Amino acid sequence: MIARMLSVTDRRPGWLVAGLMVLSMTGCQSLGKSHQAKRIPQYGVIDPNQPRELHKVPFPPYVIEPPDELDIAIKPPLPDGNPSTCVVGSDGFIDLGFAGDVFVAGLTLAEAEERIAQHLDALPAPENGRHKEHYQASVRLSNNQSKFYYVLGAVANPGRFRSTGNETVLDAIVQAGLRSHSLPEKAYLVRPHPAGGHDQILKIDWFGIRDRGDTLTNYQILSGDRLIVPGTRPPGLLGSLLGQ
């Protein structure tokens, strides 16, 4: 009888045996991921006073930093013509051509307008004897190149993303993309703070955001925020081939 059973087993197709082995290994990997996930703590606290989806707040006045691009208009026009777009250099200055350089880093757009007008008013009067007019400057942000937030950890595309003031935790996670070993249910948001200040770590209820439309922890992303998505160990070669 035993010999007959062994004979039947030996006649099983090779693909069936291989399939059973793959299913067994897949189950083991799933159990391993679940065990690893339980060992990863959930950091942060829920703060209902933070701006979030449906309760967003406007950003404070934009502060110019290198290498922002600015559109500048000047009245009356400069003798050699007005610059159209200026890039803030790493030294914080913009180049106004023959009118010289003006330091604008750390200023709001309104403060930059005043600084440029003051700089132009201080220039020598034209040699043709014409009356020198009071200058006015208009500064608009052409391209935000200095305000970013960061998504780190077990995501498909970790790195920095441009902050426009409208992003939420959900936007950030969708943009960075999840992987098979990502644990968004353990994600948390870290806000930068001055040296010596209290840490600000915000807990994220991923299942509430995704499955129930709960906006309590779908925080508005602020410039400089770090969104951390923990994960288990990446899958091995077989797991990768199986799309895990």
Assess whether 228 and 169 both reside in one domain.
yes
Assess whether pLDDT exceeds 90 at residue 115: yes
Total number of domains in the chain: 2
pLDDT in the model for residue 32: 54
pLDDT in the model for residue 23: 47
Helix (H, G, I), strand (E, B) or coil at 185: helix
Instruction: Count the Cβ atoms, other than its own, within 10 Å of residue 212.
Output: 9
Confidence band for 236, pLDDT divided at 50, 70 and 90: low
Q: Mean pLDDT throughout 214-235?
A: 94
Domain span holding position 126: 69-143
| End residue of a domain, out of 143, 178, 199 | 143
pLDDT in the model for residue 128: 60
| End residue of a domain, out of 143, 170, 192 | 143
Percent of the chain predicted with pLDDT > 90: 65
Q: Going by C-beta distance under 8 Å and a sequence separation of 6 or more, which residues neighbour residue 243?
A: 180
Q: What is the mean pLDDT of the chain?
A: 85
Rounded CA gap, 42 and 153, in Å? 14
Assess whether 155 and 229 both reside in one domain.
yes
| 3-state DSSP of 73-131 | EEECCCCCCCCCEEECCCCCEEECHHHCEEECCCCEHHHHHHHHHHHHHCCCCCCCCCC
How is the beta sheet containing 136-143 ordered, strand by strand?
A: 85-87, 69-75, 136-143
Assess whether pLDDT exceeds 70 at residue 25: no
CATH for 83: 3.30.1950.10
Of the candidate ranges 8-17, 37-46, 161-170, the one whose mean pLDDT is the lowest: 8-17
pLDDT in the model for residue 125: 74
Assess whether 236 and 152 both reside in one domain.
yes
Assess whether 178 and 210 both reside in one domain.
yes
pLDDT in the model for residue 89: 97
Q: Mean pLDDT throughout 131-146?
A: 90
Assess whether 234 and 157 both reside in one domain.
yes
Assess whether pLDDT exceeds 60 at residue 5: no
Q: Mean pLDDT throughout 64-93?
A: 91
